[in-house]
Amino acid sequence: MTLLEHLRQGEWNEALPLIDRALRAGVRVRHVPPPSGHTSWRDEDYEELLAEFVADGRGPARLIQLAVSATDDQHVRGLLGTTIKRFLADRAREDPLPKLRRTLRAVLERMPEAIFVDKGTVALAPHCERDRWAGDETELLAVATALTVGAPPWGQDTIREGPPTDRASFESLCTAILDAAGGPVALKVLTRTIGRRLQLRRPWDDRLDDEGNTGVIAAGTTPISASATVVAVEIWDQLTDEERTLMTYLDAGGRQASRESGIGLGKSAAQVRLEDLKGRMALLLDGITDRSEVVRALIDLHARWDES
């Protein structure tokens, strides 16, 4: 059985080794920074990244899109590369650390005692000529943790997206950490340390602290089960392109389908096709217990197919 056939039957595990290799390559090519607190990517970090790719709110949809769009195993590999590129780009936009790094650079540039030794390294003025710091980041974190930080300058109605503390606290943290290092410190190290002190995490990690927040699924929605997704993909594969196009007009009628669908049929002919499709869908859905979930999955497949 080919990889594509496994995907179309919902056997995701068969694709995991390929996805893992593609993610590792994507991290290297895009120079994705390691998780907070780590100086390099470890195997367990890649395992968490793989789990994030296949199991977060959009994970099943990514795999379904591969199964629906690909024509053979080679096509799967090409589409997977594009999907991972978008995944890593979205992930970077959601990461709070780049925003924190920009904030810290702005703060440091206004601190007369802080000197940028080069573009990505900073030190206190008395330490500029010393060797670059290369110690244990947990020691710097201990220094930062001992400091009290102030509340961010938010108003009562502010949308709380940052900065996570006030300027004075940023300056105190930077000064204490750089002083403890006793030499130039990479800005990325300073960012990671202060990020951990302020307990910054990506938005989807918030679900660990709040049982009422899924972190990745919009409020009021329910994730589509894997079993419903598999059934929907099987049904989708049995539909022609014309039937897929007409799916969204089942309740609208032939007049609207004729006018908007682009299938080139008059309203009477379109109505006949819609009636045929209703009967066909009734047969395909017959005996399915989670019919509403399957229909939702079909709608999702249609939306993705329509965008492609």
- Give Cα separations from 184 to 101, 121, 134, 226, 278 (angstroms): 16, 6, 9, 51, 70
Q: Which of 179-183, 193-197, 236-240, 291-295 has the highest mean pLDDT?
A: 179-183
d(CA 42, CA 34): 8
The phi and psi torsions of 74 (rounded to 5 degrees) equal -65, -40
pLDDT in tens, 205-255: 332 233 333 222 232 345 677 777 888 888 888 888 888 888 878 777 778
| Residue 76 pLDDT class (50, 70, 90 cuts) | confident
d(CA 59, CA 261): 30
Residue 75 pLDDT greater than 50, yes or no: yes
- pLDDT of the residue at 213: 31
- pLDDT of the residue at 306: 66
pLDDT in tens, 121-174: 999 999 999 999 999 888 999 999 888 887 665 444 333 444 567 888 999 999
- pLDDT of the residue at 140: 93
The phi and psi torsions of 277 (rounded to 5 degrees) equal -65, -40
Q: Among 308, 301, 113, 128, which Cα is nearest to 224's?
A: 301
Long-range contacts of 301-307 (CB under 8 A, 24+ apart): 301/64, 301/68, 301/232, 301/233, 301/236, 302/244, 302/247, 302/248, 304/61, 304/64, 304/65, 304/68, 305/68, 305/69, 305/244
Q: Which of 1-5, 123-127, 198-202 has the highest mean pLDDT?
A: 123-127
Q: 10 Cβ partners below 8 Å, 6+ apart?
A: 226, 227, 229, 230, 233
161 in Cβ contact with 182 (< 8 Å):
no
SS3 assignment, position 185: strand
9 in Cβ contact with 227 (< 8 Å):
no
d(CA 1, CA 10): 13
- pLDDT of the residue at 253: 76
d(CA 193, CA 212): 29
